Amino acid sequence: MRHLLSLADFSKKEILEILEIAKNLKTEFKKGFYSKPLENKILGMIFEKNSTRTRVSFESGIYQLGGCGIFLSSNDTQLSRGEPIKDTARVLSSMVDLIMMRTSDHARLEEFAHYSKVPLINGLSDDFHPTQLLADYLTMQECGKDKDPVVAYIGDGNNMAHSWLMLASKMGFTLKIASPKGYEVKNEIYQKALEFAKISGAKISLMQDPKEAIKDADVVTTDTWASMGQEDEKKERIKAFSGYCVDSELLALSKKDSIFLHCLPAYRGQEVSEEVLEGTQSKIFLEAENRLHAQKGAMVWLHQNR
């Protein structure tokens, strides 16, 4: 059974297959036509963390593919009352065709997948956000930034940074991550990326200086400094990330035709300035729209390769 918990589990060929399906489905969408490859299929959606883009894109996506989605918040399942994950996984996967889970601890996803009879998609965990990176790479393709790009990630070594590590190491491009001391990516994930990079030829480097990372970049990306569940650290993090705001001055160090990406929601004036977010290099809303199409591609691919 194939699951989408992290891009670490996929080859470059498979990632490109998913995105080719996504592009074809997007073309149909723009023409107002739906081929419905998942007609009468059911997607169970478990949300233990709130979401705007993830919920709407998955729910709209499965509907456009001909199926339907069942939304389950943390209050709608017995998981909130302490039912073992393995029990919920076995029961729910006997009733639906695909499952998406958005949670905190990545180990919860791994346990769920172990007992699930159908493909499980990671809608976000504290370690990885693979569906976002599929949308990001689709955006890079559409903007002509997928041919040996240099990508600069500026900010917290969180699930987005980890996911960029997986994407770069699989696709074979250059990735530079700048994070302040104490907020670096997890070493075990970095080491895994380096192992993949030996095969793909990716060039991956970690540093603290955002100016060094962003120099001559084709793609510049960042994420919020305080993710969900870290609100109590906000003041401390704002202080630690001083100098890491992607403003027009910092962005000017990248290539003139570089693009800016952000998974959203963005805190304007913190990790990115209003000017950059609303500027001509910003592709954040194309990127957000591509969540819909990339996830449709992933659902179709997983159902075909289960």
Annotated binding residues for carbamoyl phosphate: 51-54, 78, 102, 129-132, 263-264, 291
Separation CA 179–CA 290 (nearest Å): 27
CA neighbor of 5 nearest in space, from 133, 168, 187, 188: 133
DSSP characters for 247-294?
-HHHHTTS-TT-EEEE-S---BTTTB-HHHHTSTTB-HHHHHHHHHHH
Region of residue 216 (phi > 0: left; psi between -120 and 50: alpha; otherwise: beta): left
Q: Is residue 127 within 8 Å of residue 189, measured between CB atoms?
A: yes
**DSSP 3-state of 88:** helix
Catalytic residues: 102, 129, 132, 223, 263, 291
CB 138 within 8 A of CB 290: yes
> Is there a contact between 34 and 65 (Cβ–Cβ < 8 Å)?
yes
The strands making up 219-222's β-sheet, listed across from edge to edge, are 203-207, 174-178, 150-154, 219-222, 259-262
Sheet containing 42-47, strands listed edge to edge, beginning at the edge strand earlier in sequence? 68-73, 42-47, 98-102, 120-124
* Residue pair 162/230 in contact by the 8 Å Cβ criterion: no
What's the CA dihedral at 194, 261, 285, 30 to 10 degrees? -50
